[in-house]
Structure formats: structure tokens, C-alpha cells
Structure 1
Amino acid sequence: MSVESRQPPRTRAGRTTAGRRRLRHALTVAAIDLFLAQGYDTTTVDEIAAAAGVGRRTFFRYFRSKEDAIFPDHEEVLRDIERSLATAVPAQDPVAVACTAVGLVLDQYLADPDVSVKRFALTRTVASLRDREVATVDRYQRVFARYLRERFEAAGDPMAGLRASVAAAAVAAAHNHVLRQWLRSGGQDDVHAHAREAFQLVVEAFSAPARPGGEAKTVVAVLDASAPMSEVVRQLSEALRPAD
């Protein structure tokens, strides 16, 4: 008798949307706990599936690889972000819209603090998982840059492309700074207060578009690698501010 056949409640639960979500989460928790306990490279898909009370085939119905099990919801959150940007009221400040949308990523981590903190510990020690996380952040940032460029171009900003790229990077940096601070605190930090402060910095720095008719310019910023995010944002904002 297989592991799956010994777990009829789990199998039936996977037939509903809520059940599939629970089983997906169970596989993620099992994977993270095993990776932390015995190492990423030595843990097998069969062990993850067994720890979650299912079989190998069930695992592969949810994930393509054991690496995918660590970041199970990013595709869904990315779609939610794209919908949020696409349905935003045109009169809204585009940078504020982007900051609100990236909050969906933060909400994902806050929904399960224990798993998020464990995942953070794991990605700090496994290079392939860290690279996967960096690639995911880049995808979010490109979505924001595309949205902001379209909005800035519609407003007649001659520096729309540059401003959008830098603003999108600032949105991602603000989010990552706040998220990592919270993760390092073990999920105890006041993440919402820090998020409001960080996103306000970004909105104040990048909301006002350059005046139409101005000449585009190339900005080269030389910054100390240890400079705080507020100083980075301040200097970039000064460099991009149109002349009176």
C-alpha cells in the first residue's frame, strides 16, 4: 500500500482549491524543515513527499523540483501585482501605486512568519536558492519599471525610461530593506511602520515627473556601498530633479 493510499483525508483535501492550497503549503513546510535539518543537497523529493504524507507523483503535481517548493507563491503574487497595476485608477500617483502593489509581496511573507523566517535562514546558506530569490526580485522590478515608464510617458516626461528604471529599483530596494529587517528580527519587528516610512521616501523622491520639453540627461551616481537607503534615494532624487 502506498503512502498516498494510507492518507485518504489528504488526498481528498487536494481535490478542492482550499485543499490544494493546504497541501501545497504542507509540502513547502516539509521541504524547508528537511533542508534545514539535513541539508538542501542531501534531501530528496521522496523524503519531502513522505514528510507531507503524500507520494512522489503528488509532489510533482504541485512543483517541478524541490527548489520550486521553497518559493511556491511568487507566480501567483506576480499575477496579483500585474492585475493591481492594470486596474489602478489613472489619477493615482504611479509611484504610490507601485509601492502599494509591492506590498502584496510583503503580505505573502507576513501571512506565515514561521515559514518566512526559516526560508530566509535557508536562502542565506544555499547559493542556488539565493540566486532564485534574486531572479524573482528582478521580475517584480521589471514589472514595476514597465508600468512606471508607461505612466511617465503618458505624462509627457522626457526622462520616462530612466526615471521609471530608477524608481522601480527604489521600490524594490525599499521593500527588500523592510522585509529583511523584519526577517532578521525573527518576525518581531514592526514591519508596517517601517514599510510606511520606506515607501514614503520613495514616493517623495520619484513622484514628480520631469517637466515636458526638458532635455534628457544621463545620470552617473557614485555612492558608498554602505550608504543607507535614504541617502541613496535622496541623491538619486537630486540628480533626477529638473532644473528651475
Structure 2
Amino acid sequence: MSVEPQQTGRRRVGRTTEGRRLLRRTLTVAAIDLFLESGYEQTTVDDIAAAAGVGRRTFFRYFRSKEDAIFPSHDEVLRDIERLFAEADDRQNPVEVACAGVTLVLDSYLSDPDVSVKRYTLTHTVAPLRDKEVASVDRYQRVLARYLRTRFETDGQPLADLRASVAAAAVAAAHNHVLRRWLRSGGTEDAHAMARKAFQLVVDAFSTEPPRRETGDDETVVAVLRSSASLAEVVQQISASLRPGGGSAQ
């Protein structure tokens, strides 16, 4: 029995790293389009494989089920995050490192906006796909918490386990907020700009250092006064100090 030319081409492509990535995307696009056109329940693995021009066995080399077919390679992204954590300098702020790790998840969605936006539509209407997405988010959060717990314990921070769990949840929530906002915009908003602001809020909230102030009009005034100074004297001295070139306190 002869093999169709299209399938022969697919098999040849699948022999290289880039070819496997391309074939994986082809299967994902086929699954998403069929789910949207024919319905999730009505679409079978055989339907997806046929639309992608490959056989059933080839499909299962890339995905365990039809649910898996529409999601990015979470296992691959998790390995990248764990590698980033393993190579991070211990002098770096651990929450900043955690934010850098979850940015890899964000980038995996941003790399293919069309597929990501279509996936978002599906996960909001098909319960099994929504459950699958929630489970994947939980996997990332556990990896974040494990890394943060180790760092907090090494740094001797109190309540390291609790602090790590709460910080990991905050990092994941910041990421999810940015990702959903970007998806709702149809992939048009600047997700990285939003992420920088969201992650900075988390970093500041869990920082052991006082938050950095922008250079501007806000200044700290230290006034030294006699313990017997009246309220009027206190107000006068502080007011004088706040004026440009204000005098010294008594």
C-alpha cells in the first residue's frame, strides 16, 4: 500500500526539531479549527489527524488526547522555567526570578497570537478544555512555590513556606491577569509592558527592602526639636523645613 505524498512530507518534516515544532502546530491548528467548526464533542482524534495530513499514530506521538492538542507544550515550558531557576544567581531577588520564569509562559502564548486567541474562545465555552487550562496553571504555580520556598529558606526569611505559597500565587495571578487582558484585546495590547507593571507590584509587595521612590517632589524631612517644644513650634519648624532652603530645626 502506497503512502500519500502529503503524509510522506509530514514524516520527513518531523525528523528535525523545527519540523516537529511545525507538525505540532499543524495538529494544534487543525484541532482548534475543528473544535470551533464542528464542536468539541463531535471531533475525534482521527478527524484531527486527517485534517493535519498525518496518521493516528503520529498524532499520539505529540499529544496524549484531543484535549492536549490545543495547548502549548507545557512540559517544554516547565523545563525551561526550571532551567532558568537552576541557573539564576542567588544574589538576584527571588521574586524577580520567579516573574522572569512565568514570563516564559507568557511568551509561549505571545509567540502565536492567532492560535492563542482562538484557544481562549474555546476554553471559555468548553468545560473539559477550561479544566485542562486550570490544571496547567496549577503546575506552574507549584514550580514557582518550590523555587521561592528554597530561596526564602536559604535567606532565613520567617514563614518561608507560607510566604513562598502566597508569593507564587501572586506571581501567577499577575501573569494570568496580563494574559487574559491581552487575549480579550485580540492580541493587540502590549502584554510585556503590562507584565512589567504587574510584576513590579508583586516584587514590591514581597520585597524586604523599602520600595524605591521616584526622584521628585516627595522628600523625607527629619526635624529635631526640644521635648518641651509647643505644638506651634513643631508646626513652624516642619513648615520651614519643607520650604526651599528651609532653616534647621531647633
Q: Larger relative contact order (C-alpha < 8 A, sep ≥ 6)?
A: 1
Q: Deviations 1:171-200 (Å, cap 9, x if unpaired)?
A: 000000000000000001111111010000
| Structure index of larger Rg | 2
Q: Distance in 2 between matches of 1:58 and 1:146?
A: 35
Q: Tell me, what secondary structure is at the counterpart of 2:130?
A: helix
Q: 1:6 to 1:88 in 2, by over 3 A?
A: closer
Residue 13 of structure 1: CA displacement?
0.7
Matches within 5 A, 1:180-219: 180-208=180-208
Q: Distance in 2 between matches of 1:127 and 1:92?
A: 40
Q: Which amino acid is 1:135 matched to?
A: A
Aligned equivalent of 1:175 = 175
Residue 130 of structure 1: CA displacement?
0.6
Aligned equivalent of 1:227 = none
Aligned equivalent of 2:233 = none
Q: Which amino acid is 2:171 matched to?
A: V
User: Unpaired segments of 5 or more residues in structure 1?
Assistant: 210-244
Percent of counterpart pairs with the same letter? 75
Q: 1:28 to 1:172 in 2, by over 3 A?
A: same
Residue 72 of structure 1: CA displacement?
3.8
Q: Tell me, what secondary structure is at the counterpart of 1:188?
A: coil
Residue 7 of structure 1: CA displacement?
3.0
Q: 1:6 to 1:179 in 2, by over 3 A?
A: closer
Native 8 Å contact 1:141 1:168 kept in 2: yes
Residue 6 of structure 1: CA displacement?
4.4
Paired positions, count: 209
Q: Distance in 1 between matches of 2:194 and 2:6?
A: 47
Q: Which amino acid is 2:84 matched to?
A: S
Q: Distance in 2 between matches of 1:22 and 1:29?
A: 11
Q: Distance in 1 between matches of 2:100 and 2:63?
A: 29
Aligned equivalent of 2:131 = 131
Q: Deviations 1:81-111 (Å, cap 9, x if unpaired)?
A: 0111111000000000000110000000000
Q: What is the aligned-residue RMSD (CA, Å)?
A: 1.4
Aligned equivalent of 2:43 = 43
TM-score by length of 2: 0.81
